[in-house]
Each structure stands twice: as C-alpha cells, then as structure tokens.
Amino acid sequence: MVKKAFIFPGQGAQCVGMSKDFYNSFAESKEIFDDAQSIVDFDILKLCFDGPLEELSLTNISQPAILTASIAALQALRASGINVTPDYVAGLSLGEYSGLVAAKSISFQTAVALVAKRGKFMQQASELNPGSMLSLLGLDIDKVSEITKETGTFIANLNCPGQIVISGKNDNLKAAEVLAKEKGAKRVLPLNVSGPFHTELMQEASQKLENELVKTKVKEPACNVVFNVTGDIEGAPDMIKVNLSKQVSQTTYWQKSVEYMANNGVSVFFEIGPGQVLKGLLKRINPDLKVYNIGSLEDIENVKKDLGA
C-alpha cells in the first residue's frame, strides 16, 4: 500500500491571489477565510486576494494568511472528490500549524488565533533585532558553519542537499553574503521574510509563544506528525507544545523530516497551499518522490487526472 503525506508551506510562500479560486469555488474554503476574518485584526480577504504583496509579507500578516490559504486549499482538496487520507503530515516552520490542523490536533480557529499571536511576537522580536535570512546554495555544512562563526549569523534551516539557510542581523548577513561567495557559494538568495527567524534572536518570541501554548488545547494527532526541530514524529500534546515553542528560536531540519517519512514508506506527497517551494526541496532530497501541488483549481484537476479520481 502506498503511503502518503500532506506537507504545508511556511513563511515566504505568500503571494497575492493565494487560494482565491478555492474561496470562490468551494463553500468549505470560503468558510475557512470567513472564520479567519472574524479572528484576525486585519482584512485577510483583501490582503490575500488583492495585496499589496509588501503588506502581505509582514510577519504578523503573512503567518495567519498562509495558514488560512493552506487550510482553504486542504478543504478544497477534500471537497473536490479526491479521497486522500495522509499517513503523515509535516510543515515547514509555520506550515507545522497547518499540519496540526490537518491531523486534527488543533482546530483551525485555535490555530489561526495562535499563529496571529506568533506572528506578532516574531515581528516584535524582529523590530528589536532587525534581520533576515539568506539561502546559500552549493556549500557544505562545514563551510556554512565557518561562515556563521565568523559573521555572527546562525544556521536556521537545513532544507535539502546543497541548500542551507542562515539567519541573523542585517549587517552580519551582508558580511556572510560576501564570505559565502568567497567560499564558493553558487548562489546567495535573500528570503522574503522580515526577521532573523530560527535563531536565539527570537528567544523572546519563543517564550511568549510558550506562554500562549500553555493555554492552548492540543489533542493527540489523528496521524503521524513530523516536527521540524527533531525530524521525528511526536504525538503527546505536551511535547507538541514544546516543539512548537522551540521551533521559533532553533534550527529546523526539513531534509531530515522528509527523509524520515521516506524511510518509513511515504512515496507520495501533497504540497497543500501557496507556492511550490517544498516540491523543489523534495526533488533535491529524493528525486524518486512523487509530489502533487494543491494551490489552484488547475492543480486539483491535474491530480484528478493523474489519480483517475
């Protein structure tokens, strides 16, 4: 029997128009946006569907917006007649919350309220420590470790072979970019985020989030959930909360997470939500993995044809 996983994108996947066709086509998707609109303190419909991208990309806005667009896409998949039940779920950073909703561990309403606070906490921490993230292509972990030590930056994401994301304050990242090129990086790409995420510079945000998680109702997931900070599954609600709070200020291990699922028999992945970043990463981790995108009505039609649904 083929094992399947649902995977969900993180911050940086935002785009103007995300899940708009799902909103217009499925009552279930519309309900997700309407629920979110009643919870967040900004016009989520306007920003998701009409932008501007600059405002949509602000941490406190992009996080609940991407979560909402992702779960709207999940609802569209379920409503479209494609009968897929995941054996595993995972998400890249913020995407973990979408994964927990998909696994019925956290309700969508709880998740969007929590993520809205998470985004604000991270935005506040970013204002205290202005910074960003850089994706380094073509360097091994040893060279990247040297770069971070010399420049006061941090290894934030181990995403796939040949791609390591570093994070830090803006001036330190400028120095790291120069050094990375000197050490032979094929490319150095800035990420579309507004803070030095997954570093100790986010410790205050991590602590505030931990305080919120204490009050949050989390249930044992209905399927296996793989977490970024360990690259392993966890089902105990208390430990899920620990992993979520740690994730803000610690390195994430996406490659390890995907390899864990593949080693446990998962061969088909559904990337649910805006963008195709995760598909690109999975193809570099293991080109034999099959990845379907669920980000538009056209994607759903393509999946139906491929699966004969």
93 is catalytic: yes
Collapsing DSSP to helix, strand or coil, 4 comes out as strand
Q: Where are the beta strands (DSSP E) in 54-153?
A: 88-91, 131-137
Q: Which of 265, 264, 269 is nearest to 280 (CA)?
A: 269
Q: Where are the beta strands (DSSP E) in 88-203?
A: 88-91, 131-137, 154-160, 163-169, 187-190
For the beta carbon of residue 303, count every other beta carbon within 10 angstroms.
18
Q: How far is CA 257 from the centre of its chain?
A: 13
Alpha-carbon distance of 43 to 55, in angstroms, equals 11
Backbone angles phi, psi at 6, to 5 degrees: -100, 130
19 is catalytic: no
Catalytic residue of the set 126, 198, 257, 296: 198
Catalytic residue of the set 19, 57, 62, 93: 93
Q: What positions carry a catalytic annotation?
A: 93, 198
